[in-house]
Structure 1
């Protein structure tokens, strides 16, 4: 290095996992979630917290945290409001081969992010953290929501052979190459998890799962809208059943259904 060249320090490591966190007015509640995440994840990573507007109360908290944590980035979603659009935006911005979607409410176990990403590294299209397999558990949360997601997950595993007993869980890792190949059609809630599992199944791409223990959020309010989003889940539930398709057929059919 010549005397005229500034020392910029070591080059940032290429991330092996991009952690995408959709957030909506979490404010300071997101700080302990980030603390646990950065303590748990050992792989080179980038953490993308995606909000819908510059006025979101999460944004200044993330920007302050990121001043001391270069792996953290705040993104303002330009695809439209709602968690589906925030997740789409985050995955599109991901720089790594594996994108793990996790929630801002602390319900997911960040110690499993590395394991999920490594499954993608080994060749699966979708790696799910499963509440409904042996060793998994859901602690707290609305009883009706739990009953419906458990029934949907187990029936998709048994009858559609989707490859996970928890297709509805948002806590999943995706091959970013696979996602960009098939696209994301969801535009509303958290139905992306079941959409991409259903698309992987119709393409006969590998899906894997590991057990997880989901804990209901301790602080803040849930923004899950069961009545509004249920028809979206049912659409992708039905899509999971059927003969193998090509990528072009998946893209065409998913737009028709």
Structure 2
């Protein structure tokens, strides 16, 4: 019997023991359009809290949600965790899902729709487009995101509004054809540059909600990651 088309949901996790069960609940509750099945791939990037125990408890108590768990023996960065998840994915489509609560899995279908309708190969979820809820936080982060997106657009000849978004949905085969090297937050500009150069690729963007975290609530990205992003935009843009 043939298996249904599947969405691989790749979740990189580092010290997310307090919230990972909540994001998994939300993933589990989503009913995907197109009769798609779910495949959840969690990559624990050598957390020092109880992330691993929380995941194992969740797997034991929710056997109907197909979860595959991987753990890095040393901390390597979000990009490295994504490389592992992408390599392990078997679904026809793939989306990145952070383990925190900043992005809403109920919006998967909005990203899937242009792909299932035959218009898109890649869909970015923009935090700066449309009328979805958007938590008001840091002025300079917003300016930084817009600067990085504009710089990326200039090098890659795109007109994205949110290059740094977590929510990026791909045809898995296309994503797996790329050679990705960045092991930290440089993943975003690198994958954008490389996917934009796939012959005939069709990239779309849809508006999404954003429930951002403060640093006290666990936000990890800092100014050094912004500097690295500029380097990656120039490096992979050329």
What's the TM-score, normalizing by structure 2?
0.83
Task: State the 1:54 CA deviation.
Answer: 7.4
Contact 1:17 1:46 in 2 (8 A): yes
Name the counterpart of 1:30: 20
Q: What is the aligned partner in structure 2 of residue 19 from structure 1?
A: 9
For residues 127-150 of structure 1, give each alpha carbon's deviation from its aligned partner in whole angstroms, at most 9, with x where no partner exists: 100012233564134321221102
- Unaligned residue ranges in structure 1 (runs of 5+): 1-10, 243-257
Aligned to 1:250: none
Partner residue of 2:182? 186
The reply on whether 1:150 has 2:146 as its aligned counterpart is yes
What does 1:41-60 align with in structure 2 at a 5 Å threshold? 41-42=31-32, 43-53=36-46, 56-60=49-53
Q: Cα deviations across residues 2-59 of structure 1 (Å, max 9, x unaligned)? A: xxxxxxxxx8955511111111111132222221221124231011121023765211
Spell out the pairing of 1:4-15 with structure 2 (5 A cutoff): 13-14=3-4
1:139 is matched with 135
| Cα RMSD, aligned residues only | 2.8
Contact 1:132–1:211 (CA<8 Å) still a contact in 2? yes
Q: TM-score scaled by structure 1?
A: 0.77
Distance (whole Å) between structure 2 residues aligned to residue 39 and residue 213 of structure 1: 18
Whose radius of gyration is greater, 1 or 2? 1
- What does residue range 81-230 of structure 1 map to in structure 2 within 5 Å? 81-121=76-116, 122=118, 124-135=120-131, 138-154=134-150, 156-157=152-153, 160-189=156-185, 191-204=186-199, 205-217=201-213, 220-224=217-221, 226-230=222-226
> How big is the shift at 1:239?
5.3
Q: 3-state SS of the aligned residue for 1:167?
A: coil
Question: For residues 135 and 161 of structure 1, do their structure 2 counterparts lie closer, same or farther at Cα, with a shift above 3 Å needed?
Answer: farther
Q: Say which is worse superposed, 118-127 or 105-114, in terms of deviation.
A: 118-127
Asked whether the equivalents of residues 20 and 87 of structure 1 are also in contact (C-alpha less than 8 Å), the reply is: yes
Q: Assess, with a 3 A threshold, how the Cα gap between structure 1 residues 12 and 106 changes in structure 2: closer, same or farther.
A: farther
| 1:194-250, Cα deviation, whole Å (9 max, x unpaired) | 2212112233521111001211138841122x23222331133335757xxxxxxxx
Q: Which residue of 2 aligns with 1:234?
A: 230
Could you tell me whether the CA contact under 8 Å between 1:125 and 1:206 is conserved in 2?
Answer: yes
User: Distance in 2 between the 1:47 and 1:181 partners?
Assistant: 21
How far did 1:65 drift?
1.0
Alignment partner, residue 55 of structure 2: 62
Q: Aligned residues, how many?
A: 230
- Quick check: 1:29–1:220 contact (8 Å CA) kept in 2? no
Question: Residues 22 and 208 of structure 1: is their aligned pair in 2 closer, same or farther, counting only changes over 3 Å?
Answer: same
1:34/1:151 CA distance change after superposition, 3 Å: same
Q: 1:163 to 1:13 in 2, by over 3 A?
A: farther
